[in-house]
Amino acid sequence: MKWAKMIFKNLFALGSILIASLLILIAVSVYVWQTTDEGRLPAKTAVILHAINNNLVALDINIRPPQIVTGGRGGGGNPLLREDLYIPVQGDVQIPVRIYRPQGEGPFPITMYYHGGAFMEGYGSINTHDNIIRSLSARTNSVVIAVGYRLAPENIFPAAVEDSYTAILWAVNNADTFNGDIERISVAGDSAGGNIATVMTLMARDRGGPPLTSQVLLYPLTTFEDIPLESRDIYDSGYYLLSRQVMYLARDVYAPDELMWSHPYTSPLNADLSDLPPALVITAEFDPLRDEGEMYAERLAEFDVPVRGTRYRGVMHGFISFYEIMQSGSYGLQEMSSFLRQANEDNLQIASPYQLQIRQPPQGFDRVRDQTEAFAIAAYLLGRTGLDLLNQ
């Protein structure tokens, strides 16, 4: 029996050493991933970026088309109705739209959502942003219409914005079919879609279109012109999910004529911004588009447009798309949902004069949860990497 006890003790000690070594390896790895030339990242941001940039996780989303769905994690439990269809935009051309709406008679507020993806085929679609549009409908108790506008290089400017504006007119003319309220229409979008959402407010004003209730812009691209922007210089590598190379490629294929770059419907940063609806502009600290988004918010304020601007620290471009695994992303989705609800209820309270709000990384219990999940994900990634090496 003594030898059995001795073996058990040795195995226990060996197991303890292995576990301790593994924990040290995980901690050191996360620390290394957090350390960048541009600043120290929160653990969750660092782990997610490491996984994406090293192709350790797939970013494509497998969409299945149930007719009744829920809002997703944190989006509420009431079932939503979903409809995928094509609408005419120009001649025989049709584009896809996806509609999420609450059950009931309504009428419900309408949000037109424009997905990001550098204006180019293969970078973004209504499918890649399904989690946002679905949850947004549930959280705001409104109809959300995601617009599959035509993409470059096959379709250059102004095809995307013309499609997007035509979709608003279609929504107005067909609101009865989905219980929408044409008196409460907002626009929202992220990145390239944020650019399009800004342009929708300009086009609606310029063309005497339907009055828009509000605009929500997530890390929007607001200029195609070559102007000094520190964030574009600092975060241009692509590590933070958007590179200078992709931005130049997007400009080359979407707006191939240099005369297009200064057009207000490509570069709203320098447009006449008077008489536009109240705006929420959300930016990310580690994002090449940060500065121009914040400059756009400032210019809206200069034109007396009520605007709320929030910079989220410790996160990268596109962070709200990760709201199901990033607490900061969940905060961002909550903020945009709250803003839309208040706008729909005509209850927006926006401080004046304008001042950019800085949202700190998660604190307290949320920080502990993010840290714990980050280390768990890191353990998985290291294990997967080890298995891949063994199989080579």
CATH of the domain at 289: 3.40.50.1820
- Reported as type and span, the H/E element at residue 232 is helix 230-234
E-assigned strand segments in 166-306: 180-190, 214-218, 279-286
* Gap between the terminal Cα atoms of the chain: 43
- Residue 206, domain member (yes or no): yes
User: Does residue 1 lie in a domain region?
Assistant: no
Range of the domain at 191: 68-367
Catalytic residue among 130, 163, 236, 287: 287
184, 273, 275, 291: CA torsion to nearest 10? 50
Residue 55 domain-assigned (yes or no)? no
CA distances in angstroms from 74 to 48, 81, 273, 287, listed in the order given:
20, 18, 35, 26
How far is CA 99 from each of CA 106, 189, 272, rounded to the nearest angstrom? 15, 15, 32
**pTM for the complete prediction?**
0.91
Out of 29, 137, 191, 337, which one is annotated catalytic? 191
Within-domain flag for 30: no
Q: What is the DSSP letter of 193?
A: H
The DSSP call for residue 211 is P
| Three-class DSSP labels, 19-81 | HHHHHHHHHHHHHHHHEECCEECCHHHHHHHHHHHCCCCCCCCCCCCCCEECCCCCCCCCCEE
Instruction: Output the pLDDT for position 44.
Output: 92
Let me know if 92 is a catalytic residue. Answer: no
Catalytic residue among 50, 115, 263, 317: 317
pLDDT lower than 50: segments of the chain: 60-70, 72-76
User: Is 126 part of a structural domain of the chain?
Assistant: yes
pLDDT of residue 361: 95
Closest of 292, 272, 301, 160 to residue 220, by C-alpha: 292
Rounded Cα distance, 293 and 189, in Å: 12
Q: Residue 279 phi/psi, 5° resolution?
A: -130, 145
Residue 20 in any domain: the answer is no
pLDDT computed for residue 28 by the predictor: 84
Torsion of CA 196, 198, 199, 200, to 10 degrees: 90
Is 4 a member of any domain? no
Residue 211 lies in a domain: yes
User: Is 125 annotated in the active site?
Assistant: no
Tell me how long the chain is: 392
User: In the annotation, is 191 catalytic?
Assistant: yes
Q: Which long-range contacts (CB under 8 A, 24 or more apart) does 327-334 make?
A: 327/44, 327/362, 327/366, 327/367, 327/369, 327/370, 328/42, 328/44, 328/45, 328/359, 328/361, 328/362, 330/74, 331/359, 331/362, 332/218, 332/282, 333/74, 333/132, 333/135, 333/136, 333/139, 334/139
Q: Number of structural domains, the chain?
A: 1
pLDDT at 31: 87
